[in-house]
Structure 1
C-alpha cells in the first residue's frame, strides 16, 4: 500500500469515527419515552360512550312485510310513482357509539376528558390499562373549553402528575398518549410548536400547538412533558382530511384544572363578562399610540349596560393590563376576563391619550345567552379549505 493510499484510508477512518460520534451524540439527545410511558400508562384510560339520537327516515308501503321494508321490485318499484322515495318521513331512534381517551387526576376516581367525547351519551365506560371496565358518572362538562369531568369507583387507582405550564417553552419535547382509531395506549412524540394559540370561534382557550401525531380517538388523552407530567389535554387537529396533518392542539392543563375545580365545587363553570369589542394593536397602531411594540387590546366598541359601560372604560382605550396580567395580544383578554368570577372588581391598566391610567371595573358573570368579550375575527377563518376538527373517534 502506497503512502497516499494509506493516508486516504486513515483520513476516511477518522472522518467515519467523527461522523459516528456526532450521530451518537445526536441520538443521545433524543428523549427515551419508554420508562415515562410505563410509569404513566396505568393512569391513562380509554373511554367508550353509547347514546341514542332521533333520525327521520322514509316510510315504505312494504313496512312490516318479510322484505324488511324494502320493495320486492328493487330499483324499478312502480309504487315509487305514487309514494315517492321518502314520503312521509317518520322519526326513528338509533344507537350512537363513540370513543376517546382520558386520564385519572386523583385517587377518588376523577377523570378528565374532552366534552365532545362525552356529548349526550347515556352510557359512559372507562377502560383501564389492567383491563378493568368501570361505569363512569358524568360530574359535569364545559363545552366552551371542551373539558368534561367523570368519576369512577375503583381501588388502587393510579393518577397522573400535573405540570406547571408557566415553564413551558417552544421546542420542548412532548408525548401524546391515547387511543387513535381505537388503538389503545398509543404513544407519539413531538415538540411544542407554539404556545397561546387561538383558534377560530374559540375565545377561551390558549391552546398548546404541537406536532405530535394526534388522530380521531386521541381526544381527551394527556400530553406529557419529559418529566412525566401532564401539560395538556389533546383536543383538536388542523386538517383537510380528517386525520393528522402535522398540527395538533392541546388544552393547557392549568386551564383544565381550573374548570375541573369549579365543576367539582359548584357543578358548573362561572366566567366573567366585560362587554367590549376589541381589535389587535398592529405595528401601525402601536406607532400611533407611541408604544414601543405592538401590545394590548384596543377597545373598538362597548356593549350598552355592560360592566365596561358602567365603568370609566372608553372606546379608543388600549387595555395593557387586566387584573395584574399583562395583555400581550388582544386574544389574551377574553381568556383573562373569563377566569374572573362574576361580581368581582378588577384593576385595568389602559393607555389613553398617550398616558397610562388604572381604572376599576366590576366584572359580571357571563350569562347563558353568550354575552362575552370577543376579539374581532376575519370572516374567512377557514383558510384554503383547511379546518380545525375535534379528534373524537365516532
Structure 2
C-alpha cells in the first residue's frame, strides 16, 4: 500500500516499529550514494590515500548528485480504495477503506478531509500514493518497490526535469518487495547501473528522493551495517544506512562513489514514522537478479529444496556435539521434495551449498533461491557428528506454502517427566495426534519445557535422535542423554503440520 497525498498522522507501532518507506505514507524517490567521495575523486585515488581522506573529510557531493539525480523519478499511483479493504500495509498499519478499523490512519484522514462520518462500506475511493524509483535503461525501464505499485490502477512517473509520463507495471516480487515498471512510448532517459560489490560499513551514502512529496531532496550519511534481518521474510539481507530517508523515499536507489546502485530503499525503523537515522536497503545483487527475471518473464521463479529448517543455537550445537553454532538444522524434509528424494533427514545440519558456508537458515534460503530450478547442488551436512556430501537436484518453488500454527492450550502443572516439567501420553491414544510420538498433555509453567516453548498439544517425536512412543521411552531417552554427560537434549517436536527441534537443558 502506498502513501496518501496528505499522509495522516501515524500512531506508534507496538512491536517492531518498522515502516516500509511507501506504506500509508510512502517515502518517495530516493537515491543513495556510498563512499566518502566528492568532486571527481576516483575510487583508486581514494583507496590509495585513506588517511588523507580521513583527515580532510568529504569535499562535497555536488558533482555526484548532478550525475545521478536525472535518473531518479517520483512514482505516483492511483489505487481503487475498495479493493484495499482489510489489507495490512507493510509497516503494520491498517489502510483498509472498506471497512475502516477504529483509529486507522485513513479513518482520521477522511474524517478531516472528507465525509465526517467516514466512507460508507460499499463506497469506492481512489487513493493517490507517492513513491520513488530510478531508471535502469535508456528506453524507460525503472525499479521501485512492490508496495509502491501494489494494486495500482494507474502509474505515472515524474522525472527530475518535471516531465510526467504514463508507466505500466512489468512485474512484481512481493518476497523481496521489488517491482519493475516501464514508461510507455518512445523516450530516452538518463539511467544508472547496479554495482557488483557490496559497500563497506562506514562508506558515505547520499540519498536523493521525494520525501513527503517535496521531490529532489538530498541527504547524506554512512553505511551502518550489513546483513540485517528485519523480520520481513526468509530473504532478509538488508543494508542499513543512516542517511535520513522518510515517507516518499520508497523504491529509491543507493549509489556508490561511481554512481552505481548498491541498494534500493525499502524500510525504516521509526517510533514516529519519520527518520531516526535507521533505514534499510535491498542489496544490489538481490535487486539485479530479481529485476532481470521480472524483465524477461514478468515474475520470479525460485529454486526449491523442500526442507523445513531452523538456526543452530548454542544449545542445539552443544547437544549435537558441534563446536560452532552455524548451519541450518533440518526439522523435516517434506515428502516428495528434492530433499526427501536425495535422502536428507530430520536432524541433519546443512553447513554448505556448493562450498559456500551456510551461516543460518536465512543464509540457506537465500543461497537456494538464487539458483535455477533443475540445477544440481552439493550440500555439505553433519549427520550425527559425521560429515557427508549429498547431491540434490532442485525443483521449482511452489506458489504458496501453507503455514499452520499450533492452537493455544491451557497449561497445567502435572508431573510426568520431571526432567522437563511435562505430562505426556502416547500419540495413538489421543484423538487427532497421529500414531507416532508422545503428546504433551500438560506443562509446568515454571519448568524447562515451558521455558523453551513446549506447549500442550505438541507431539514429541524423538529425543536425542531416538524415537519415542511412550512415557517410558521418553524417560529412558532423557536418562540416557544425562548419563552421556549431556547438558542439553535435542527434542524433535511436531506442532500442527510443522516440525522443529528444541534444545532443552536436563542437567
TM exceeding 0.5: yes
Shift of 1:135: 0.7
The match for 2:74 among 43, 46, 56 is: 46
Q: Which residue of 2 aligns with 1:36?
A: 64
Alignment RMSD: 2.6
Residue 101 (1) aligns with residue 132 (2): yes
Write out aligned runs for 1:94-133 (5 A): 94-133=125-164
Shift of 1:202: 0.9
- State the distance in 2 between where 1:170 and 1:294 align: 25
What secondary structure does 2:133 align onto?
A: strand
Provide the TM-score with structure 1 as the length reference: 0.76
What secondary structure does 1:35 align onto?
A: helix
What secondary structure does 1:136 align onto?
A: strand
Write out aligned runs for 1:51-90 (5 A): 51-54=79-82, 55-56=97-98, 90=121
The match for 2:326 among 272, 295, 302 is: 295
- State the distance in 2 between where 1:26 and 1:163 align: 24
Cα 1:90/1:312, change in 2 over 3 Å: closer
Residue 156 (1) aligns with residue 184 (2): no
The match for 2:235 among 182, 197, 204 is: 204
The match for 2:379 among 348, 351, 355 is: 348
Shift of 1:310: 1.8
Write out aligned runs for 1:135-174 (5 A): 135-152=166-183, 153-165=185-197, 167-174=198-205
Do the aligned partners of 1:235 and 1:251 also contact (CA within 8 Å) in 2? yes
Do the aligned partners of 1:57 and 1:92 also contact (CA within 8 Å) in 2? no
Cα 1:32/1:287, change in 2 over 3 Å: farther
- State the distance in 2 between where 1:25 and 1:91 align: 62
CA deviation profile, 1:28-47 (whole Å, cap 9, x unmatched): 22352111101101011111
Residue 328 (1) aligns with residue 359 (2): yes
Do the aligned partners of 2:140 and 2:188 also contact (CA within 8 Å) in 1? no
Shift of 1:353: 2.7
What secondary structure does 1:257 align onto?
A: helix
**Segment drifting more, 190-199 vs 138-147:** 190-199
Q: Which residue of 2 aligns with 1:261?
A: 292
Residue 308 (1) aligns with residue 336 (2): no
Unaligned runs of 5+ in 2: 1-51, 83-96, 101-115, 404-451, 454-507
Shift of 1:328: 2.0
More strand by share: 1
The match for 1:195 among 202, 217, 226 is: 226
Residue 216 (1) aligns with residue 247 (2): yes
- State the distance in 1 between where 2:235 and 2:328 align: 15
Runs of 4+ in structure 1 displaced over 4 angstroms? Answer: 24-27, 55-58, 287-292
Shift of 1:102: 0.4
Aligned length: 324
Do the aligned partners of 1:275 and 1:371 also contact (CA within 8 Å) in 2? no
What secondary structure does 2:361 align onto?
A: coil
Do the aligned partners of 1:163 and 1:230 also contact (CA within 8 Å) in 2? yes
Q: Which residue of 1 aligns with 2:393?
A: 362
Cα 1:196/1:26, change in 2 over 3 Å: closer
- State the distance in 2 between where 1:232 and 1:25 align: 24
- State the distance in 2 between where 1:229 and 1:291 align: 42
Cα 1:159/1:370, change in 2 over 3 Å: same
- State the distance in 1 between where 2:59 and 2:293 align: 36
Cα 1:90/1:186, change in 2 over 3 Å: closer
CA deviation profile, 1:56-102 (whole Å, cap 9, x unmatched): 579xxxxxxxxxxxxxxxx9xxxxxxxxx99xx65111111000110
Shift of 1:370: 2.8
What secondary structure does 2:341 align onto?
A: coil
What secondary structure does 2:152 align onto?
A: coil
Shift of 1:345: 2.2
Do the aligned partners of 1:222 and 1:230 also contact (CA within 8 Å) in 2? yes
CA deviation profile, 1:103-131 (whole Å, cap 9, x unmatched): 00011211000010111111111101111
Cα 1:137/1:57, change in 2 over 3 Å: closer
Q: Which residue of 1 aligns with 2:270?
A: 239
Cα 1:171/1:308, change in 2 over 3 Å: same
Do the aligned partners of 1:273 and 1:371 also contact (CA within 8 Å) in 2? no
- State the distance in 1 between where 2:373 and 2:189 align: 36
